[in-house]
A and B are shown apart, each in its own frame.
Chain A
Amino acid sequence: MIELSLPANFSDSSHLPFIAKLSRIDGHQTATLVGEIGDELMFQFQDLTISIVQPVGEDIIGDIVFVEPAYNRVSRWIRERSDHNTLLVTERCDQLCIMCSQPPKKSHIDMFTFMEQACMLAPQNMMIGFSGGEPLLYKEQLFALLEKVHTVRPDLKFHVLTNAQHFEEDDVERLRQTAFKSVLWGVPLYASDPSTHDSIVGKIGAFEQLVTSLPIMARAGLQIELRSVLLKQNYHEFEQLSRFISSKLPFVSVWAIMQLERIGFAKNRWFEQFVDHSENSEPLMAAVSVAKSVGLDISLYNIPYCTVPQKLRGFLSQSISDWKRSFPADCEKCSVKSICTGFFEWHSTLEDYKYGGVI
């Protein structure tokens, strides 16, 4: 597991928090490397000296970090060598999904200024994620950030994970502007039956709102990635969901079907939520087949290679972020490890699956 938050020492702990790029050479907004003692790296940012112990086997030079001297902490917001960088917009949410991987909190700290600076420093052509909570609770600030960053950094791409409850007719003109062509919007949809979807996301009327929002997004020409998590609560309805998407949502760019992540709320409710697709792959096969028949792009996320029938393997994606990916010891012998998405670090085991194992 890759550490995203590193302990650090500062010459002045009363220094206000800031964004910097860790660098060997002096430049715009850099914390410049001035000394190395073993694993300990010393950086200079204006008058401030920062000392960070570099995690074993990792290179933090090039990373864009959020520095908090008062907490003796440096957070790696944008890692130069990673494709999985996500910024947390807020921990507030207006839904309460039963399997939420990042349970919401009531409080909110506005970090938009820092996020904007971090984006401006990002490496060329990077894709940066925004997540939450529900990022669109701060719609105005988020839209403004995307627009502003785009004018300076048109090379960057963004992924925003949103429940799409907050798009309105009045947003269409604004969202049609070129800034938003660089954004892929990840929108969860868990069932085509309104009551199933609503009960999973913990909000009555959420499905109805989605069905209103999605055509608004389409009219604005947004790129949409639908996301559906496999759950005991919706697995039996998966073909139906696929038929719904295939007939009513031809404008989505991709449909991601995701296996459950054992963290957050799902951790304690694992056995009432996790569904073993290896034991019964029929609903998954049918859902993929229906969507594929109409030419929809399908991606299977968080699904180890060996747990699905041959015919589904072409749809698998290496979706688990590098910093949380892991493999149990047995997988060392496996011939397809390099193309397998692996497991989440906090639940790295095949024991949940009836069928699977070294190939």
Chain B
Amino acid sequence: MSSVFPLRFRRLSESSLVFANEAGQFFKSNDRFLERLDNEKLTKSDQEFLFDHAMASRRAGDINEMSYLHRLASRLRPPTDLSYVILVPTLRCDLACSYCQVSRAAINAKGFDWSDETLLNVKSYLSKSVSKRIQVEFQGGEPTLRLDLMSQIMDFCREHFEESRFIICTNLSVVNEAFVDIISAEDVFVSSSLDGSPDLHRKQRTNTKSQTDEFFKNFSRVGELIGDRLSALPTLDSKNLPAPSDFLDTFDHYNMRSVFLRPVVYHGFARKRHPTSKDHQSVWQKFYEACIYEMIARNIGETSDFYEEYYLTLILKRLLRPGEDNHIDLRSPNWLGYDHQLIDYDGRIYPSDEARMMARTGQVDLSIGDVFAGLDEEKRGALQGRAFNALDPWCSQCPYQAACGSDPIDDLARHGRADVPKPATAYCQKHLHIFDFAMKLIYSEDKKNQHSLALWLGLPSPIFLGDVLQ
């Protein structure tokens, strides 16, 4: 007789359910197995299946118990030192996008840039908080309005840390020689926004034809200069979605086949101008799946340059690989304000980009200190209570809990409080959809799907990724 590590389950279809334990090991089975499990009447072959797949142990300290505990522990990383910093050297911007996520300041506004004193304190704060490696993301506003500040931070980091990496998030409306000079360094990456076809991009962002043309000209030029150090994120409006095929064509045109599909986020200015965006989930989900299937259809044949959706690949890795926890929107425990922080134009420190948006729109002040006085440990500590999804009464029943994450700041931003029942949150709904969809692909017998899964996970050949108990 063996003891089974506790299982949670969820229906995948009329005839199938997914079962998983807290360490994230999963398999597909049916209602008959659920009944046997419920009545504690597992057959010999049920028990053998569970033992062979290391989901039950025969005695304390045996190999299966060790593997279960190890997986569990790998998913519970302790907090680490600050290593990912978003810096906002200025809040000013030269565009006025309809769904801007931050409260931007006008191009000529005063008092929205780092002062000399702020810059000095940012440097000393970083040297105290970062140990060896740093990744800096410059955000805005439009950070390229202050190339001088960016340069100084880059020089400082390269000198002080063993390894530095910089990402400039820019609208690319202006590309001058000083900018070209900065991005020529191999440790500098450029992330821009590309919403799809020029027409769509103009409607959502650049407004005029001349600004749109200028953006596409700059985008191509930077692509030629730095190759795959340039990436682009689309922001998609579920009221105005492109055809998946046209959308992928645009990205393919710029050699970008790895795309991060995100709908407009219900934050900041976007919240005021697009009040219906939270009701468009099913429209969005349909579009999302259509895009993935279009990618799969294009991935046929041997190719090293394949299409993938960044977040789906991340979800697949989280399902299959304990310890894959580098993405701060999808991890638990989500140690807020530890390894990842944002330093705003005024020197205030936030646990994430979203947290500063809420402060700017006056919802709630989630700052956890500033670069002058340092961290406010008490405020940071207060955020941890809901950062651990295993302690949530809803999540702890969900088979995807181990692979999923927790984002109390997102819950706060969208629902005004962090203790809404999980199934009612946008975070939960979005993730349940992607996890269910990932399961559908994992258990699909269609060779095309299996081929793409292998590409996304870096496998030499397609294999069965999910076990089935008949």
Contact = CB atoms under 8 A, between A and B. Distances in A.
Contacts of B52: 247
A212 B459 CA distance: 31
A251 B66 contact: yes
A212 B58 CA distance: 12
B460 interface: yes
Given A295-B320, A295-B323, A295-B324, A218 B461 contact: no
Interface of B: 25, 52-54, 61-67, 70-71, 74, 317, 320-324, 454, 457-463, 465
A309 B460 contact: yes
Given A247-B67, A249-B63, A250-B71, 15 more contacts: A211-B63, A215-B62, A215-B63, A215-B65, A251-B66, A251-B67, A282-B461, A289-B463, A293-B321, A293-B463, A294-B320, A294-B321, A295-B317, A295-B324, A309-B460
B321 A215 contact: no
28 contacts: A211-B63, A214-B63, A215-B62, A215-B63, A215-B65, A219-B66, A239-B463, A247-B25, A247-B52, A247-B54, A247-B67, A248-B64, A248-B67, A251-B66, A251-B67, A251-B70, A285-B460, A285-B461, A286-B461, A288-B459, A293-B459, A293-B463, A293-B465, A294-B320, A294-B321, A295-B317, A295-B320, A315-B460
A173 B66 CA distance: 16
A288 B462 CA distance: 11
Contacts of B67: 215, 247-251
Contacts of A218: 66, 70
A236 B15 CA distance: 34
B70 A311 contact: no
A232 interface: no
Nearest to A215: B66
Interface of A: 211-212, 214-215, 218-219, 239, 247-251, 282, 285-286, 288-290, 292-295, 309, 311-312, 315
B322 A250 contact: yes
Given A218-B66, A248-B54, A289-B463, A295 B454 contact: no
Closest 10 CB pairs of A and B: A295-B321, A215-B66, A311-B460, A289-B459, A285-B461, A251-B70, A247-B54, A289-B463, A285-B460, A248-B54
A285 B462 CA distance: 9
A212 B454 CA distance: 33
Best-buried of A247, A250, A288, A309 by chain B (most CB within 10 Å): A250
A324 B70 CA distance: 38
A312 B460 contact: yes
Given A215-B65, A295-B320, A295-B321, A247 B53 contact: yes
Nearest to B323: A295
A38 B461 CA distance: 57
Nearest to B321: A295
A292 B53 contact: no
A253 B465 CA distance: 21
A211 B457 CA distance: 29
Best-buried of A212, A218, A292, A309 by chain B (most CB within 10 Å): A292
A97 B457 CA distance: 35
A289 B454 contact: yes
Contacts of A214: 63, 66
A136 B458 CA distance: 37
A289 B460 contact: yes
Nearest to A169: B61
B463 A286 contact: yes
Contacts of A247: 25, 52-54, 67
A215 B54 CA distance: 13
Best-buried of B66, B454, B465 by chain A (most CB within 10 Å): B66
A309 B317 CA distance: 24
A215 B58 CA distance: 14
A212 B74 CA distance: 22
B457 A292 contact: yes
A292 B54 contact: no
A170 to B, nearest CB: 13
A315 B461 CA distance: 13
A250 B323 CA distance: 11
Contacts of A211: 63
Nearest to B464: A290
Contacts of A292: 457-460
B74 A250 contact: yes
B304 to A, nearest CB: 9
A239 B461 CA distance: 12
Contacts of A251: 66-67, 70
